[in-house]
A and B are shown apart, each in its own frame.
Chain A
């Protein structure tokens, strides 16, 4: 019996095995358009928990029961592709090809770091997104903020030419007042930068304000944004209106930029490796005076000052020597980038690990920038209700920035070396020999950033979800400046060493609940939460002088040492809530409110509440339009709300004393650094937005937004009478408005074998100060040429009209605001006072463009593609550095523009450059004002993808070859005269822009 029973069991199991063998369904999944195998596709048996994943060749095998095989349904899902359901119908082998979801990246929009990504139709705020592909990270640009130039409607990037330093970003114009100067005010104005948030963690902006005096000068701040690896970015969302930004409350007035990083993909572990290398060369250099030209002018200058010719010749130096300082201190730049990433995982856990090395050698000798990035991101599901995301992203920076002395162009008729091979000393010119600086000094930054966050969420019920985020952001930097005793930078101190150690640690945590029920046709999505954050800035400075041994550049080697340290903490907490409601997925309403309380106002803890309301109407979902074949999407959005700007130094309302040490007698001192202004309060932004999204003909996409942004109680430094003991103080001085519209149009113009995709965007903005409040003075120093006055923009340029050079005397002539011509008085400079008084000046133009944007075209044919980025800016004005062309004012100690050769030197001569003289020029006149209208081909990139057949043969191995050229071509409205300099050259003066070409390869295994 026992045996019989065992046999029966055996038979049953045998048959079970046989049955199982019969009930395995195998298959292959590939992409429909490329016909390439898809790796990592999740196949789920409908209404069960059974899943399998395809392998690298796209194959899968699924064990099923007979019932399942007969009537079951497979669901195929893969990121970036449309979900597909396929009935099994007793088949043993199933071939499936998935359709790519072309709009997949566009469909889902990251609206802020507190909500899950939303579907496009749910968004009521004005949000522009940039995907990883649109960011074009193969371009030889060191940080993603610079890459955004021309990509986002209404976002302007004010480029600079120095590596690794912050760039200024304006979203819909400048929403804070410009600083009108004042040397004794340490904290300037509120920040005009947008808020950057990476995976929920704000990046600390590096700005000075609360430091002790010892730290206010000397240290150079780096760009914290450069700590984000552009290759890690999945998408960028630029939040522009109140409905989008109000959830960031008191930090949102300048807009918010949300960065979402890439996560790992399910399936076989995949490796991407990229390498690119390039060279750069300067474009549009300033033409400086040659040695003999310089001699001729300086000689004439001294004669004009009343010296005898022989004396003037003696003072003017050599008439033959011609040292090409620019060529001696510049070279070809180099760019190298190596990156790799590894990603994979299963349905419960995915990971992505990336590392990247970037090295950029500037054209200026002695200046370079190196970065190493690491990122590890893990996404894990614990059971069906918990999910956990953790990201750790450290980066390391090394920057050398020795070549700053070429900022002052060195005079050309002196030698660079003495006859004995030592460096020629330029000590009589107040400048060191830049070659000696390059050889003997050090100016190095080493540091890094750490960006890490963990998010835990718990889906309590279908409609209720709790989540908590803890994140840290750290910025560490050590700058070492060594000025050798061997040259003029350090010889009075016997060599000097300065070390600045900056540590910024910030943490943030927020905890929230989201309730998203759908009751019949009413859908709700309500989030409420609590947030706390704190930023600590610790500074340490050590200086030493008296180095008897030049080679060891450490403080311990200095005969005299001094040190200083500082510690600042800023804390804030916030309570926020957001409620979204829609009816029939047609009518959308969104309410947001946030309370912020911050420590920056001292013991008078001050809090502010910002709120917004937004509404959307999906017109295309109305029955009338549902049948339309050509309207794909039509939606109207309206929003209104308030935002704030809390980024201002501490205790500003109460008057400040700054501690200084060592002060007199080696004791600690406290010096008055700002006057009390009991009326100072928070800035308030009121933003209105009306937007339209329109997609039609399956090819065209249009987004148009009209906005009206008011900033009330805008804070700025106002000049106060010197008799108060101060030059200026912070006050709520103005009500200002930015009004305009921005638009983005994208089109698939050709979509056959030859493809042409085109994106055009523009931002039209007019800024104006509506009202000036609280008295105070409203003019900047004449060098800054700014003004705070109702009726013009905060970025207005204020000055005099340059009439010309009086042919009889060679004196420059200007118009004042009464229309009177004032001739410059060489002899009695006091008579020129009316021209230095800003009160006699008038509006000359606006620094910000009226219209700016980009035009991106992508052409592809078979495996080749070409992308051309065009960036344009229309209607902005720029006041160049007057020192370049100052009628000889500074000519004895610096070289000047070759335009000075056209100086007046004979009575009756008609020219644009006045008689050479020592007198100070009028700096804020139309003479130095240029129209900054330009078009530029910012980048051309060529790319070649390995053909499909080859990829198939190589079992999924992909490769992409690319070639980029940046700053290809400029067209400026203002033409430069032949053999002379114009705006093209003066724009970046001593540090010209680079044209960089790079080529590289990306492979994927």
Chain B
């Protein structure tokens, strides 16, 4: 009996010391409940969402250049290794699409945002301002991701009268992984959710504090970005009065003054922030491959170089426009064909360009379009001419009293100003225009509105 108790005692000692032995410290991989235990760790997930935005499968290429590749601003200067090539050829199908990873990443942003909403409220070592900032950013991330999804993978808002057509899957909370995913929500439901998230964000920003030491304010989200994004969402939703109100507020504050004619071209060089940027993705600590690699022909042996400009776009610029050839395009000849590349992104190596997600020029153009569609033609012309004259002071004002003519010109100006910034195909589709690509070598260069190909097929993994 005595022996047995000694044995039991030894066993007990071993057991307790072993429990300690198995408690290995937190290493590279942290479990979900661990990462949201404290403020410092939870913040890491926010940082990484910004990092995801600037990845190849988001704004560095797929989500950003999709509309330009499909819309007709871009043609390829390579005959092999083309990226987004199926998008260019409209040959994406659900089982095999260029946009699969972008789609996945949008939902990854939503997954993390939903984790934030689930866990961050219980964090005890953060004050309300810090928590508000995390929540506000998460609202913007979720809104941005849902908006990117709905504009890319669904037909435009105005495709049906009440936007009741198929949108995308709306994820407002994370369900257990074994629960079946809900069906796609209608487009109007998605837009409602996006606008609600943006409004919640603005409210949270009003009582928040910066939580990203060392990052410039306009390199993370802000109340102003949430509002600016809202103006874009409202424009797509054709809620023009609200577009005007939102833009008025931001333009009047003049926090992000327009670039001037003289500093326009030089501002696109290098990696510093624009004065007129409301949000840009910073690349200040990245060396290597950036968006410039797709566009810079002067790097020898650049295997990424491919996105040349179509003559469709080049021919839109008037003589003397600073955004036209040769001042804003760089030419090169490959196999005796001359290609032009935009100077917006020529930074490579240690001077990779930041990616502009929203800048004041778009606010003017959004407001111009909204005014024009409401019928405030003179206000529309005023905004249009701000952008027009900045690029070409000698061009003189654009004048017209014909609403259609003005809208056409605004859309052309949008294409001139915002090319390679992810707008063209969406601008065509939501204005119910036909896709007409002239300088095009795809099997499918043109189709008329409406057409299901205005929405990229929703990727499915079997």
Contact in complex: A654, B32 (CB < 8 Å): yes
Contact in complex: A659, B181 (CB < 8 Å): no
Task: Give Cα A532–Cα B17 distance, bound, in whole angstroms.
Answer: 11
Q: Is B31's beta carbon under 8 Å from chain A?
A: yes
Q: Is B443's beta carbon under 8 Å from chain A?
A: yes
Task: Give Cα A618–Cα B339 distance, bound, in whole angstroms.
Answer: 85
Contact indicator per residue, chain B 20-35, by CB within 8 Å of chain A (1) or not (0): 0111110111111101
Residues of A within 8 A of B462 (CB): 719, 777, 779, 837-839
Q: Is A775's beta carbon under 8 Å from chain B?
A: yes
The minimal Cβ–Cβ distance linking A596 to chain B, given in whole angstroms, is 11
Residues of A within 8 A of B293 (CB): 492
Return the contact of A657 from the options B25, B32, B285 (Cβ within 8 A).
B32
Contact in complex: A726, B95 (CB < 8 Å): no
Residues of A within 8 A of B174 (CB): 724
The minimal Cβ–Cβ distance linking A938 to chain B, given in whole angstroms, is 40
The minimal Cβ–Cβ distance linking A509 to chain B, given in whole angstroms, is 12
Task: Give Cα A667–Cα B212 distance, bound, in whole angstroms.
Answer: 8
Contact in complex: A659, B93 (CB < 8 Å): no
The minimal Cβ–Cβ distance linking B140 to chain A, given in whole angstroms, is 15
Q: Is A568's beta carbon under 8 Å from chain B?
A: yes
Contact indicator per residue, chain B 155-172, by CB within 8 Å of chain A (1) or not (0): 000000000000001010
The minimal Cβ–Cβ distance linking B102 to chain A, given in whole angstroms, is 10
Contact in complex: A492, B348 (CB < 8 Å): yes
Q: Is A660's beta carbon under 8 Å from chain B?
A: yes
Task: Give Cα A768–Cα B52 distance, bound, in whole angstroms.
Answer: 40
Residues of B within 8 A of A724 (CB): 107, 111, 174, 177, 181
Known: A492-B301, A657-B35. A722 touches B21 (CB 8 A): no
Residues of A within 8 A of B94 (CB): 833, 837
Q: Is B91's beta carbon under 8 Å from chain A?
A: yes
Task: Give Cα A829–Cα B92 distance, bound, in whole angstroms.
Answer: 8
Q: Is A523's beta carbon under 8 Å from chain B?
A: no
Contact in complex: A572, B22 (CB < 8 Å): yes
Task: Give Cα A827–Cα B91 distance, bound, in whole angstroms.
Answer: 9
Task: Give Cα A677–Cα B31 distance, bound, in whole angstroms.
Answer: 11
Task: Give Cα A839–Cα B284 distance, bound, in whole angstroms.
Answer: 45
The minimal Cβ–Cβ distance linking B434 to chain A, given in whole angstroms, is 19
Residues of B within 8 A of A679 (CB): 178
Residues of A within 8 A of B92 (CB): 830
Residues of A within 8 A of B107 (CB): 722-725
Known: A428-B80, A667-B215, A729-B177. A571 touches B31 (CB 8 A): no
Contact in complex: B27, A569 (CB < 8 Å): yes
User: Can you name the residue of chain B whose Cβ is closest to the Cβ of A182?
Assistant: B461
Query: Which of B42-50, B254-262, B368-376, B421-429 is near enough to bind chain A?
Result: B42-50
Q: Is B303's beta carbon under 8 Å from chain A?
A: yes
Return the contact of B32 from the options A597, A656, A779 (Cβ within 8 A).
A656
Task: Give Cα A808–Cα B100 distance, bound, in whole angstroms.
Answer: 35
The prevalent SS among residues of A at the interface is mixed
Return the contact of A211 from the options B28, B299, B304 (Cβ within 8 A).
B28
Residues of A within 8 A of B282 (CB): 664-665
Contact in complex: B215, A664 (CB < 8 Å): yes
Contact indicator per residue, chain A 528-560, by CB within 8 Å of chain B (1) or not (0): 001010100000000001100000000000001
Contact in complex: A491, B79 (CB < 8 Å): no
Contact in complex: B48, A725 (CB < 8 Å): no
Q: Is B349's beta carbon under 8 Å from chain A?
A: yes
Contact in complex: B177, A676 (CB < 8 Å): yes
Residues of A within 8 A of B124 (CB): none
Residues of A within 8 A of B78 (CB): 428
User: Can you name the residue of chain B whose Cβ is closest to the Cβ of A826?
Assistant: B443
Interface size (B, Cβ < 8 Å)? Answer: 87
Contact in complex: B95, A836 (CB < 8 Å): yes
Task: Give Cα A530–Cα B13 distance, bound, in whole angstroms.
Answer: 13
Contact in complex: B30, A727 (CB < 8 Å): no
The minimal Cβ–Cβ distance linking A679 to chain B, given in whole angstroms, is 7
Contact in complex: A671, B32 (CB < 8 Å): no
Q: Is A224's beta carbon under 8 Å from chain B?
A: no
Residues of A within 8 A of B48 (CB): 660, 663-664, 669-671
The minimal Cβ–Cβ distance linking A356 to chain B, given in whole angstroms, is 37
Known: A425-B301, A827-B443, A833-B93. A649 touches B29 (CB 8 A): yes
Contact in complex: B285, A666 (CB < 8 Å): yes
Contact in complex: A664, B44 (CB < 8 Å): no
Q: Is B287's beta carbon under 8 Å from chain A?
A: yes
Q: Is B54's beta carbon under 8 Å from chain A?
A: yes
Return the contact of A598 from the options B22, B47, B50 (Cβ within 8 A).
B22
Residues of A within 8 A of B284 (CB): 665-666
Known: A719-B461, A722-B100. A212 touches B28 (CB 8 A): yes
A875-899 residues at the B interface, CB under 8 angstroms = 890, 892-893
Task: Give Cα A832–Cα B93 distance, bound, in whole angstroms.
Answer: 8
Residues of A within 8 A of B214 (CB): 665-667
Residues of A within 8 A of B287 (CB): 493, 545, 560
Q: Is A278's beta carbon under 8 Å from chain B?
A: no
Residues of A within 8 A of B461 (CB): 182, 719, 721-722, 727-728, 777, 781
The minimal Cβ–Cβ distance linking B432 to chain A, given in whole angstroms, is 23
Residues of A within 8 A of B299 (CB): 491-492
Q: Is B288's beta carbon under 8 Å from chain A?
A: yes
Contact in complex: B215, A430 (CB < 8 Å): no
The minimal Cβ–Cβ distance linking A836 to chain B, given in whole angstroms, is 4
Residues of A within 8 A of B35 (CB): 657, 670
The minimal Cβ–Cβ distance linking B60 to chain A, given in whole angstroms, is 13
Return the contact of B457 from the options A491, A605, A830 (Cβ within 8 A).
A830
Residues of B within 8 A of A723 (CB): 107, 169, 171, 181
Return the contact of B104 from the options A430, A492, A658, A725 (Cβ within 8 A).
A725
Contact in complex: B44, A669 (CB < 8 Å): yes
Contact in complex: A568, B27 (CB < 8 Å): yes
Return the contact of B44 from the options A598, A656, A670, A673 (Cβ within 8 A).
A670
Q: Is A318's beta carbon under 8 Å from chain B?
A: no
Return the contact of B31 from the options A183, A654, A782, A833 (Cβ within 8 A).
A654
Q: Is A419's beta carbon under 8 Å from chain B?
A: no
Task: Give Cα A487–Cα B303 distance, bound, in whole angstroms.
Answer: 11
Contact in complex: A725, B50 (CB < 8 Å): no
The minimal Cβ–Cβ distance linking A839 to chain B, given in whole angstroms, is 6
Contact in complex: B22, A430 (CB < 8 Å): no
A917-951 residues at the B interface, CB under 8 angstroms = 919-920
Residues of A within 8 A of B30 (CB): 651, 656-659, 670
Residues of A within 8 A of B100 (CB): 722
Return the contact of A727 from the options B28, B104, B285, B300 (Cβ within 8 A).
B104
Task: Give Cα A671–Cα B41 distance, bound, in whole angstroms.
Answer: 11
Contact in complex: B95, A837 (CB < 8 Å): yes
User: Can you name the residue of chain A whose Cβ is closest to the Cβ of B287?
Assistant: A560
The minimal Cβ–Cβ distance linking B137 to chain A, given in whole angstroms, is 12
User: Can you name the residue of chain A whose Cβ is closest to the Cβ of B459?
Assistant: A722
Contact in complex: A659, B24 (CB < 8 Å): no
Q: Is A567's beta carbon under 8 Å from chain B?
A: yes
Q: Is A494's beta carbon under 8 Å from chain B?
A: yes
Task: Give Cα A425–Cα B35 distance, bound, in whole angstroms.
Answer: 47
Sorted nearest first, the 6 A-B pairs with minimum C-beta distance are A725-B111, A669-B48, A670-B44, A655-B32, A836-B95, A654-B31
Give me 17 other A-B pairs in contact (C-beta within 8 A), A569-B27, A659-B28 excluded.
A491-B299, A492-B289, A534-B21, A560-B287, A658-B28, A659-B44, A664-B282, A669-B44, A669-B45, A671-B108, A721-B461, A722-B459, A723-B107, A776-B178, A829-B91, A833-B94, A837-B94
29 residue pairs bridging A and B, Cβ less than 8 Å apart: A428-B303, A430-B80, A492-B288, A492-B299, A492-B348, A493-B288, A493-B349, A532-B18, A532-B21, A545-B288, A546-B349, A560-B350, A566-B27, A571-B24, A573-B21, A603-B23, A669-B47, A670-B45, A672-B115, A677-B177, A722-B107, A727-B104, A728-B461, A776-B178, A777-B461, A830-B92, A836-B95, A839-B462, A892-B79
| Chain A residues within CB distance 8 Å of chain B | 182-184, 210-212, 314-315, 425, 427-430, 487-488, 491-494, 530, 532, 534, 545-546, 560, 566-573, 597-599, 602-603, 605, 649-651, 654-660, 662-673, 675-679, 719-729, 774-777, 779, 781-782, 827-830, 832-833, 836-839, 890, 892-893, 919-920
